[in-house]
Structure 1
Amino acid sequence: MEMATSFLFPPPPSILVNTMTVVGLAALPIMVWSEVRGNNLKYSKFNNNNASSPSSSSQKQRFSSVSSRTGMLCLYTPAFLAASASFFLSPSQDLRFLLLKSALSLHCFKRIFEVLFIHKYSGEMASDAAFTISSGYFSSAALVLYSQSFTPGLPEPGLDLKFYGVVMFVVGIVGNMYHHVLLAKLRKEGEGGGKKEYKIPKGGLFGEVICPHYMFEILVFWGFFMISQTIYSLSLAMSTTFYLVGRSYATRRWYLSKFDDFPKHIKALIPFVF
């Protein structure tokens, strides 16, 4: 316990935050196992909601769909609004709180920018998946900020990580965007109309791992934790890590099933390791 207090603020006096911390840690292993087993959230290459599927008509009766671009915008816009609104709803002179608000806002803005100007799309996204993921992003952003709102005025943790967190966040967000640009270049301009053509990514760290964008995304969330140093942000970083480990494993397995020439030395997430 003493070791934890050396790098964490004490738990906030909030039943909501403390409950969601526990619930988040308990729920994510289930999502990881679902990803590994192939029960993926239906977006990106794992979205099988297309007209050629024999069961698509019955599936669409149960769940409506939206265009992929609209769906992706729905994922990140509520979280961006929550992060941006925090500057006005929770004004504070606390440097740590200001850094966290700025990092969250920049992260969500980058995602929206990528949706509008970088990513290329074909097909649709199941609206239930869009709603589920959007709700998760929004609640996570709101709760990490709400949890931080209890820390101004408290004694700082013995080990101050916030500036290391800023560095990790910057490395993560730049690396993530760079590899998203490489992925976008794989799709020909104007490619769409329901046609999905995937290729083995190249460039950057794609020669070592198939999901470097996930690796850098993990760094972003650990940057959030190091900036904030709250128990909820720690649970969020751990949950994100576990989920993206499962997602990257499923992604590598997908490429292995689709491409006979997929290089076997390319790992899922961590170069030379996993």
Structure 2
Amino acid sequence: MQRIVQEVDTITASDLHRRLSQADGQDEVSHLAQRFNSLLDRLETAFAGQRTFVRDASHELRTPLTVLTGELEVALLQERSPTEYRRVLQSTLDAARMLTALTNGLLQIARASDDPSQVPMAPVRLDELLLQAHEEVLRRQPTCRIDLEFGEPTMPGSAFEVLGNEPLLLSAVLNVLENACKFSKDSQEPIMAIITCLGREVQLQVRDRGVGMTEADRQQVFVPFFRAEAIRTVPGHGIGLPLTAKIMALHSGSIRVDSELGTGTQVTLRLPLVRS
């Protein structure tokens, strides 16, 4: 036990790769060391993920900040015409909006990663939330066409009601609908958003006939800041689906992405219904 205490005291955040040496037996002390080593495994993974997230977030934040600084510095080098000043102001406004959207997304990811007990929950009608998200997406992208389909509730009085945090769930649905719009702009077929009840779960499927993605890219879609090769030219930061995945996990739900390059993508969200 003294040796374990000494080894634990020497482990810091900078050397989480180290493990206790007394974990190869079958007695109680070895079992304790094994559990502590498992804890170190999880901590090492979490710290590595945090470092990667901070690195990628810093890179994404640097881009609009560089645009802002560069445009303003060039504009101040000499006197310019009102038209040129207007162009600079528009460019900096676009960069500021991009920075705001990215910052909001990062804050939402942090909030969605919180302890569920610290996030206020209440009954939410997912069908009404879908209508609200649909209206907002069409306001942002008026040329996008989304057809809605509503199934019949399977339990009397349930009416697609889930227990959740409405702003976070709205953000999740918005992310999925906006992605479908962005990645299927050249498609002549409408996006389908279908909400149904499956047993004690409510399911929302969003299908598009857009560019799709390869299987290798599909396996990376929940990694923050990842952008699939086929959609690198589409504006975005690669935080929509990772954020949605965290929100679904926070609500004991699930998300699944099925896609084929050149054919389209289907995103399926599932949440437990409120028990009557």
**What TM-score do the two structures reach when normalised by structure 1?**
0.35
Q: Which has the higher strand share?
A: 2
Higher relative contact order (CA 8 A, sep 6+): 1
* Structure number with larger C-alpha Rg: 2
Q: Which has the higher helix share?
A: 1
